[in-house]
Homo-oligomer: A and B are copies of this chain.
Amino acid sequence: MTYCVGMVLDKGLVMMSDTRTNSGVDNISVFSKMFHWQVPGERVLTVMTAGNLATTQAVISQLEERTKAPEDRDNVLLKAPTMFQVASEIGQLLRSTIQRTQDSNGARGKGRFTASIILAGQIDGMEPRMFMIYPEGNFIETSADTPFLQIGETKYGRPIILRAYDRTMSFEDATKLLMVSFDSTLKANLSVGLPLDMMVIERDTFAPSYQRRITQDDPYFQAISSSWGDALKTAFHSLPDYSFSSK
């Protein structure tokens, strides 16, 4: 499994992903699921992937045209004039990659090899934008009503984002919020695991403003993980008490 979240803030974009991949619980590896490309001063693009690892790696490789010699490569990510066109291109690659592998595996391949992608970034002259790209190749974009996107194991970590997200929040608060959301998910689903990758893209900088890998021994993540349990209990006890007699 996987857990990736992208949030659109007034100040820019914040992304976090886990790094655990598994084929059964007895075959676990660490692979980054966050990729980024930039043309300094002109564009920055980040992609997060969930689903079949062979599929998502194939999509990334094709985006970078790794089948060609380095000097012949023509990365569409660096040339497409709009984020919409980048999303379309990734969607087509994703759909065709899944289709090809499914077809070549006959009935056994049906419904397997699927994947989803979050694309976030900004191109000079336009707003920061974020898309969720489906295995069918189509995609949706965030809006004022739905300003964050999740892929993978989305449910455990969703309630706290729904309650605490605020478009005007600082990058620091957004990071804290994502760590809480990831901590809840990690505690509930073994197939989502540390380390986490995170990236902040400040609006109009066209470069990653902040980028980090959060490992097992990260003191801040440890502090969040241990104090969130107590904070939740305090919150719970601050609610009005139920009484059987008054009903």
B242 touching A179, Cβ below 8 Å:
yes
> How would you classify the secondary structure of chain A's contact residues: helix, strand, loop or mixed?
helix
Q: Does A160 contact B (CB under 8 A)?
A: yes
Residues of chain B within 8 A (CB-CB) of A244 are 171-172, 175, 200, 210
> A163-B233, A164-B233 are known contacts. Are A180 and B242 too (CB-CB below 8 A)?
no
Q: Could you tell me the distance in whole angstroms from the C-beta of A201 to the nearest C-beta in chain B?
A: 13
Q: Does A28 contact B (CB under 8 A)?
A: no
Q: Mark A229-241, 1 if CB is under 8 A from B, else 0.
A: 1011111101111
**Within the oligomer, what is the number of copies of this chain?**
2
Q: Which of A174-232 contact B (CB under 8 A)?
A: 175-177, 179-180, 184, 187-188, 200, 210, 212, 220, 223-224, 227-229, 231-232
Query: Can you list 18 A-B pairs with a CB-CB distance of less than 8 A?
Result: A155-B156, A159-B184, A159-B232, A160-B236, A163-B236, A172-B241, A172-B242, A172-B244, A175-B244, A179-B242, A223-B240, A227-B240, A228-B235, A231-B235, A231-B236, A231-B238, A231-B239, A232-B232
Given contacts A163-B228, A232-B232, 8 further A-B contacts (CB under 8 A): A155-B156, A162-B187, A162-B188, A163-B232, A173-B242, A175-B242, A212-B247, A228-B235
Binding site for B on A (CB under 8 A): 155-156, 158-160, 162-164, 171-173, 175-177, 179-180, 184, 187-188, 200, 210, 212, 220, 223-224, 227-229, 231-236, 238-244, 247
